[in-house]
Amino acid sequence: MCQLLGMNCNVPTDICFSFEGFRARGGKTDEHADGWGIGFFEEQGSRIFLDDKPSFESPVADLVRNYPIRSLNAIAHIRKATHGNVCLKNTHPFQRELWGSYWIFAHNGKLGDFNPTFQGIFQPVGDTDSEKALCYTLEKLQQRFGNTRPILSKLYAALLDISNEIATHGIYNFLFSDGCIFFARCSTSLHYIIREAPFAQAHLIDEDVTVDFKEVTTPNDRVAIVATEPLTDNEQWTEIKPGELILFKDGQPLYS
């Protein structure tokens, strides 16, 4: 299976520290070497860096590590292929536009026998069960709410329904964001941590790197990091429960 990393903040923040530990799992400290990707939102705009090389040795990953992109929402994925070949069209995260916003999605898990018939507005380009799940989700949201974005509570309730339906097909951990709000859904394994004042030091599990967040933050900053497995060994991560869908906004859970 794959691994997920996501970030939701109240001020634009770079994900360099977490990404450094995460990328090591793409071929160095773990086996997720079948490509990787990361999507950043900068206001409503987005940019996604993808590579079908292992993240540990990818020149694109070097760029992401060395060029701090400050973002309120970011989603990264390292892949161990289960459905679909190793190629760009099967590399997460995937992006579509709905309601005049970009939506970025990455999935960890495996959905057996998930072969919905699409109405056609959103159609998968690649072969993964994950991209099917994104297209199915967006189609269902569009069918339910038409061409106008609903209020948050209704969107949350709809996404919970759709996710539970898809999850009947298998393992369905995902991260999903439009650059303003950030959803994390756990099926088997997903953890998060909220970093806020008083900030402390954090030390990566996968690389011998420590950062002192006191030195790079202001007292009002708040950052939620979500990952398949905890990335640091000296902080307390919260396990998301199987079946739970959390909506993060401004670096904290809003609905769960």
Residues that bind a copy of itself (CB under 8 A): 42-52, 59-60, 63, 66-67, 87-91, 95-97, 99-102, 119-126, 146-148
Residues 6+ away with beta carbon under 8 Å from 113: 169
**Rg of the chain, C-alpha, whole Å:** 17
CB-hemisphere CA count at 13 Å for 247? 16
SS3 state at 49: strand
User: Residue type for 54, please?
Assistant: P
- The phi, psi pair for 61, rounded to 5°, reads -65, -35
Asked if residue 242 has a cis previous peptide bond (ω within 30° of 0), the answer is no
Q: Which is nearer to a copy of itself, 120 or 198 (CB)?
A: 120
Asked if residue 93 has a cis previous peptide bond (ω within 30° of 0), the answer is yes
Q: Which is nearer to a copy of itself, 47 or 214 (CB)?
A: 47
User: Residue type for 242, please?
Assistant: P
Is the separation of the CB atoms in 227 and 239 below 8 Å?
A: no
Q: Which is nearer to a copy of itself, 119 or 188 (CB)?
A: 119
Of the candidates 131, 189, 185, 178, the residue with the CA atom closest to the CA atom of residue 163: 185
Residues forming the active site: 2
Q: Which is nearer to a copy of itself, 122 or 199 (CB)?
A: 122
